């Protein structure tokens, strides 16, 4: 009888933990993210800081199932998403555009030429209208379609290609991420 109760309580704890939200810098990352018929689970999340103290954005990584392997997440032709919430007025459109370009440079080890036209088109997502604190960006990789970029729930851009997906998510998950601690947080480590 005791082992049955213990098993039940353990299963309940695991169930609640799987559905738990995460709050980072007063931003709540939901346990699941849904678009159309695709539902992804929160893999991990973290806070991007610049200059050691400016809290630029909170980001959550959503995957079909939890994984601690960034290379597998990047390479798989499976749905993947990030939800990025701007937490600083320092994150202007021009600064975010520059940071994204630099992130692609790190992800692609300096060789952005093969994808530069796609990168330039993608960056327009951040340039179309001024970014302000509280803005929410979601970028979803949809197999066969590409990376769909949303700002505050509104579709802004779709960038085709699995290679682009690998480079984009590589900004945070590659061997040369923009922030090693953020990578670990997004991978739930």
In a domain, 10, yes or no: no
What does DSSP assign to residue 115?
A: G
Structural domain for 41, as ranges:
21-186
**pLDDT attached to residue 18:** 45
**pLDDT attached to residue 14:** 40
In a domain, 99, yes or no: yes
**Per-residue model confidence as pLDDT tens digits over 30-74:** 999 998 889 999 999 999 988 777 889 999 999 999 999 999 999
Average pLDDT of every residue of the chain: 88
In a domain, 14, yes or no: no
Contact 32, 41 (CB under 8 A): yes
Contacts of 20 (CB under 8 A, 6+ apart): 31
pTM above 0.85, yes or no: yes
In a domain, 9, yes or no: no
> Which CATH number characterizes residue 81's domain?
3.50.70.10
Strand ranges of the sheet holding 146-151, from the earlier edge strand across to the other edge: 32-35, 38-50, 54-63, 80-86, 136-142, 146-151, 154-159
In a domain, 5, yes or no: no
In a domain, 3, yes or no: no
In a domain, 36, yes or no: yes
User: In 76-115, which residue ranges form alpha helices assigned H by DSSP?
Assistant: 93-107
What total of structural domains would you count in the chain? 1
Task: Band the pLDDT of 20: cuts 50, 70, 90.
Answer: low
In a domain, 8, yes or no: no
């Amino acid at each position: 009888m005791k082992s049955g109760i213990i098993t039940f309580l353990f299963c309940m704890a695991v169930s609640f933990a799987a559905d738990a939200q995460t709050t980072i810098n007063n931003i709540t990352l939901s346990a699941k993210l849904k678009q159309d018929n695709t539902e992804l689970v929160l893999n991990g999340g973290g806070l991007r800081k610049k200059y050691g103290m400016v809290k630029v954005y909170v980001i959550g990584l959503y995957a079909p199932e939890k994984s601690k392997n960034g290379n597998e997440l990047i390479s798989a032709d499976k749905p993947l998403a990030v939800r990025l919430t701007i937490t600083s007025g320092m994150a202007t459109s021009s600064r975010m555009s520059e940071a994204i370009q630099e992130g692609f440079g790190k992800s692609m080890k300096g060789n952005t030429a093969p994808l530069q036209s796609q990168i330039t088109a993608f960056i327009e997502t951040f340039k179309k209208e001024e970014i302000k604190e509280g803005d929410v960006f979601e970028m979803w990789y949809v197999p066969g379609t590409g990376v769909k970029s949303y700002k505050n729930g509104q579709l802004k851009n779709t960038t085709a290609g699995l290679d682009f997906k690998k480079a984009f998510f590589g900004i945070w998950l590659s061997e040369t991420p923009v922030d090693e601690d953020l990578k670990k947080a997004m991978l739930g480590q």
